[in-house]
Amino acid sequence: MNIAASIALLGACPFVSLAAVPVTFSETVLDAAGPKGPLKGTLLTPNSKPTAVVLIIPGSGPTDRDGNNPLGVNASPYRLLAEGLAAKGFATLRIDKRGMFASAMAVEDANAVTIADYVDDVRSWVDVLRRHMHTPCVWVLGHSEGGVVALASAQEENVCGVVLIATPGRPMGEVLRGQLNANPENEILLKQALPIIDALEHRRRVDITNIHPALQSIFNPAVQGFLINAFSYNPGHLISSISKPVLVLQGQRDLQVEETDARLLKAANPQASLVILPNMNHVMKEMTSDDRKANIASYTEPALPLAPGLIDSIEHFLDLQLTFSRKVTACSALGVPPKKRFTF
């Protein structure tokens, strides 16, 4: 389940934007200081001055900077997200988590981490980006479990605001119960899985010697410490204390996180902006039917486009907030109090 910038210029690399017009972006490898070695990430910038800088926080498990995972995800959603945002004028940094992939030397054990550790890494990356990009603050975008990290990072001084994609609105133990219950094929697992989740929520480790093989990787002893820590976070409580701009994005074809989660986040912070995308699944791909097999198949299809409206919604939100920020600056210079920040 778990867990999982010296600066070397790789040069200008051509990509095709989500529009049908070729755009040239610059790709740069960045390092940030980790506990025992460097954290690694890829900065993608448009060839004009970026409008804003966005840090992309990966979801759960061994998920790399492109959003791929050796356990069955090869859809490259974060790479596509970065390219789509670059085509709109935004710089993005997508990262490998501590202990994983190119960040393997950052810690000895990728599983011996906490949400707070990931917040420390966000802080390190924000500092790197502020220096490298000469920007006063950085937007933090979290996907799935990465959204919980983004919420926990929101109070950091140099975070502009938060973008959440497919982020749980309930504690992750509740979400895991829902995921297991939602698939009829899991019925034979529930009698063992549900008591294990209960135990971890009560900070008790579990002996998995005699449990079903399909559950042993999920509840492996090596990751139980992380699960105990992660289950203790309530995204609704986290978002309720955030006064910075927040965008909540959720797809209605998501098999892992429900629309209810997004609405719970919005209810906990009425100032947050909420966008529901009818044809987006968990890996941000377009799904036009309820065909579960086709949905899961999209997890291994990097050629499939991102869901319509995803990039445009993020662009619209960031542009509104940047416009508001400029108005605040102008009002402050004139001694006029600004209105409330924008939501949509």
What CATH number has the domain bearing residue 321? 3.40.50.1820
Q: Are residues 327 and 199 in the same domain?
A: no
Task: Give how many domains the chain has, as a whole number.
Answer: 2
Q: What is the DSSP letter of 319?
A: H
Cα distances (angstroms) measured from residue 45 to each of 10, 39, 246, 251: 12, 19, 23, 27
Q: Are residues 99 and 56 in the same domain?
A: yes
CA separation for the pair 261, 55 (Å, rounded): 22
Q: Are residues 320 and 253 in the same domain?
A: yes
Confidence check: pLDDT of 180 > 50:
yes
pLDDT at 342: 58
Q: Are residues 249 and 227 in the same domain?
A: no
Give domain status of residue 207, yes or no.
yes
**Where is the domain boundary, 213, 232, 251?**
232
Give domain status of residue 339, yes or no.
no
Q: What is the pTM of this model?
A: 0.90
β-bridge mates for residue 13, sequence order: 25
- Of the pLDDT bands very low, low, confident and very high (cuts 50, 70, 90), residue 325 is confident
CA separation for the pair 178, 78 (Å, rounded): 25
Structural domain boundaries enclosing 18: 8-170+235-334
Q: Are residues 111 and 84 in the same domain?
A: yes
pLDDT at 10: 25
Longest CA span, the chain: 70
Which residues have CB under 8 Å from 264's CB, separation 6+? Answer: 169, 170, 235, 236
Give domain status of residue 344, yes or no.
no
- Of the pLDDT bands very low, low, confident and very high (cuts 50, 70, 90), residue 76 is very high
Q: Are residues 207 and 176 in the same domain?
A: yes
pLDDT at 329: 61
Give domain status of residue 3, yes or no.
no
Give domain status of residue 342, yes or no.
no
Q: Are residues 240 and 224 in the same domain?
A: no
Q: Are residues 286 and 262 in the same domain?
A: yes
pLDDT at 2: 41
Q: Are residues 157 and 180 in the same domain?
A: no
pLDDT at 11: 27
Backbone φ, ψ for residue 300 (5° rounding):
-115, 20
Give domain status of residue 1, yes or no.
no
Give domain status of residue 343, yes or no.
no
- Of the pLDDT bands very low, low, confident and very high (cuts 50, 70, 90), residue 294 is very high
